[in-house]
Amino acid sequence: MVGRPDVREHGVVDVAARMACGVLPAIDRQVCGFERWLAVHLEGIADEGHAQVVRRFATWEVLARLRAQAEKKAISTAVRRHAGEQVKRATAFLWWLSGRGVSLRDCRQADIDAWHAESNLAARRDTRAFLQWCMASSLTGRFQLPASEPGHRAPLSDRERITHLGRVLTDGSMPLRTRAAAAIVLLYAQPASRIVRLTLDDVIRDGGEVLLRLGDPPTPVPEPVASLLAGWISSRTNMRTATNRDSRWLFPGRRAGQPMGPDYLTALIREIGIPTTAGRSSAIRQQVLERSSPVVADALGYHPVTTARLAAQSAATFSRYAPGDHARTALQRKPGKGEQ
């Protein structure tokens, strides 16, 4: 057929070519990565009984959920990482039971209560799905799980955020790469997954002003943040390989042509003592306090519903903002009833 690529080379089916032809459905990259990781994880489980249970849970619960989500939209690295944590926590729970001399079938409410008392918040949250699946699959009896606890940390106070930002801008002992990324988090409330997708073209120099394209229109970058970004651009790392010398990524990765991984960038920022989620939450709340939520949404690339909700929660002055021409003065408007 004219226009179709040859899908066979030396008798081996080229899967990529078949996908391009539409013969195979598109596969989400994060789902593929999870499947590869799962195979390695299962091989590392010494107890065959444990491995069988974890394999069933990962395949019919975790992986099935990931595939269903991927049919609606691309899976993020955070979702994939959470799926992996659920599988690892399931494995750890089985080993914990074995240490108590208890099989999964014989697990009782007293065991669940003891596990809850010994575990931290993350372990309790990530193991919950496995325990619910065990009950639904009749692998255990019925027992009462402790109430689900919120895992989101409260936003930093604005004073804490400003203190962190001041340290990032003035402490030359920190890596320049980390300082530049942290400044974008604390000032513009950007997640690492979006920061790593920024390119040099997103840093705009307009006369004496520097702008950062996060949404539309681009957002002004004040000093000394502008100088910090300029310093980082002129000394970016991971640029020495022959295939990476012309990289346009603001934060190039080690792999040629690829940006830095968001998980790695998040880890770098946390290493200097800045909680990325709490810092970003504080920054976006301060933004909606200072200007209208529709303007913040456009400028920073947020969904308008998100900024409107945050504005309402923060009792923002602009929570009742109405778009339109507000330039008319009191002298220009028609007198109301009882006015002369």
Tens digits of per-residue pLDDT, 21-48?
455 456 788 899 999 999 999 999 999 9
Whole-number CA gyration radius for the chain: 26
Dihedral (CA of 307, 311, 148, 118) sign: positive
Structure confidence at residue 150 (pLDDT): 54
CA 239 to chain centroid, in Å, comes to: 26
Q: What residue segments make up the domains of the chain, in order of their start?
A: 8-136, 158-319
Position 74: which residue type? A
Q: Find, among 237, 241, 235, 234, the residue nearest to 256 by Cα.
A: 241
Structure confidence at residue 309 (pLDDT): 86
Degrees, nearest 5: CA angle 46-48-49: 125
Quickly list DSSP for 143-194: -PPPPP---PPPPPPHHHHHHHHHHHHH-TTS-HHHHHHHHHHHHH---HHH
What's the whole-number mean pLDDT along residues 185-196?
A: 92
Is 226 in contact with 166 (CB distance < 8 Å)? no
Is 53 in contact with 139 (CB distance < 8 Å)? yes
What are φ and ψ of residue 38, in 5° steps? -60, -40
Q: Is the pTM of this model over 0.85?
A: no
Structure confidence at residue 45 (pLDDT): 94
User: Which burial class, exposed, middle or buried, applies to 114 when counting CB atoms under 10 A from its CB (0-12, 13-18, 19+)?
Assistant: middle
Structure confidence at residue 168 (pLDDT): 93
CATH topology of domain 158-319: hpI Integrase; Chain A (1.10.443)
What are φ and ψ of residue 86, in 5° steps? -65, -40
Tens digits of per-residue pLDDT, 252-310?
888 778 888 888 898 899 888 888 888 888 898 888 888 888 888 888 888 888 888 88
Tens digits of per-residue pLDDT, 126-175?
899 999 999 999 999 998 887 765 555 567 888 999 999 999 999 989 99
Structure confidence at residue 59 (pLDDT): 95
Q: Find, among 207, 204, 247, 246, the residue nearest to 229 by Cα.
A: 204
Position 270: which residue type? R
Q: Find, among 211, 241, 215, the residue nearest to 226 by Cα.
A: 211
